[in-house]
Chains A and B, each alone.
Chain A
């Protein structure tokens, strides 16, 4: 990390801290030492990495609260030295569960290539929380290939859907479409497409809705349209349908979306009634 970026981050932290204090003041209930430690850790970002590292290590080794240690992990993620990245991996592997997951996320924030490479093993050996943290780290680092590999090699539906959802968050439409070639459009894939959004996705969701073999798939497509905010598509489906129950569901979806198109439907209904 360059001095320039450290200074910018420090200034940013100063701004955030100032704003935070302006809103919340220093509460009497907070341990003053802890308040100062957190401020010192944030300030440490502007220190030379080789000077900051031993101090951060000391904080992690000492009997500090998890909140303080979590801030220390963030500082560690900004220190682009092998010792810092190795320590993050150590905490991720052996720390208490809360700190372990935070260390994993920090590896994602830091984006260090070697540390990122260590996440694959952590994912394989980790529990559900750690796996979720690894997926988040990949998302933060924008590592679509790693998430796609997890989805491709998933050994359970839950694991597949968690990875697919993350692909949706990452906007990895091509990967989601490719996965559908193998498994067909599952509910998870459809919702992930909705999360990814976009005109192409909206058209796909409309097709899936119209050609759905099951109610579950149709519902998932509608949910995808809801998530992507494609109210014009929902209105189109409403107009196409002759089924009262289905029309009700579609209208309800428009209502949940807070769409102005609801008024068009109401106007049409009133005109029809007249």
Chain B
């Protein structure tokens, strides 16, 4: 009986982990219009609040707020909170908006650079050596 309970618990744990990873790998901001926000680890180890404004299923603005970051004049009170996301998950979603080159590309690149981890520098390296 004990073994069966253990198996059930382990299975539940595996399902939870898989579900969590699945959700993380596919992180994306909902398509409905409006501001969305989520939290990630910042490059300096503090918590970074990332914002995206969605219109017609596409992001049109990226913003960020954190301990060391102040966006003067930026004040969104009714952003839908998507909770904590790993830096890499957030970056993976953001980097989808670097190409094609548009107004949003630079915002995405700069926002990516504020995230923690190795991925930001790897992306910047790729961009800087793209046409070499």
What is A's interface to B at a CB cutoff of 8 Å?
Answer: 3-4, 6-8, 10-11, 13-15, 17-18, 21-22, 25-26, 32-33, 35-48, 51-52, 55, 58-59, 62-63
Contacts and interface: CB of A to CB of B under 8 A. Distances in A.
A39 B106 contact: yes
A40 B64 contact: no
A36 B98 contact: yes
B124 A14 contact: no
A4 B124 contact: no
A10 B66 CA distance: 12
Interface-central residue, B70, B109, B120, B125, by most chain A CB under 10 Å: B109
11 contacts: A3-B68, A6-B43, A15-B71, A18-B107, A21-B107, A25-B103, A32-B100, A42-B106, A42-B109, A43-B110, A46-B114
B129 A58 contact: yes
Interface-central residue, A40, A41, A44, by most chain B CB under 10 Å: A40
B105 interface: yes
A55 B121 contact: yes
A7 B127 contact: no
Nearest to B109: A39
Given A4-B44, A42-B106, A26 B101 contact: yes
Given A35-B101, A36-B127, A7 B109 contact: no
A11 B71 contact: yes
Interface of B: 42-44, 61, 64, 66, 68-72, 98, 100-103, 105-107, 109-114, 120-121, 124-125, 127-132
Contacts of B105: 26, 35-36, 39
A37 B71 CA distance: 24
A235 to B, nearest CB: 42
A126 to B, nearest CB: 30
A21 B125 CA distance: 23
B50 to A, nearest CB: 12
Contacts of B71: 11, 15
Contacts, number: 112
Given A3-B43, A39-B127, A42-B106, 16 more contacts: A3-B68, A7-B43, A10-B110, A11-B69, A33-B130, A36-B101, A36-B127, A36-B130, A37-B127, A39-B109, A42-B109, A43-B124, A44-B113, A46-B43, A48-B43, A63-B132
Q: Is the interface of B mostly helix, strand, loop or mixed?
A: mixed
Nearest to B114: A46
B52 to A, nearest CB: 13
A17 B108 CA distance: 11
Contact of A33 (B69, B106, B124, B131): B131
Given A32-B100, A35-B101, A36-B101, A51 B121 contact: yes
A41 B128 contact: yes
B75 to A, nearest CB: 14
Nearest to B44: A3
Given A3-B68, A8-B69, A15-B72, A47 B124 contact: yes
Contact of B110 (A3, A17, A59): A17
Given A11-B69, A47-B43, A17 B127 contact: no
Interface-central residue, B71, B101, B113, B130, by most chain A CB under 10 Å: B113
Contacts of A38: 106
A243 to B, nearest CB: 54
A51 to B, nearest CB: 5
A70 to B, nearest CB: 14
A247 B45 CA distance: 68
Nearest to B45: A3
A11 B66 CA distance: 10
A260 B97 CA distance: 55
Given A3-B68, A39-B105, A55 B125 contact: yes
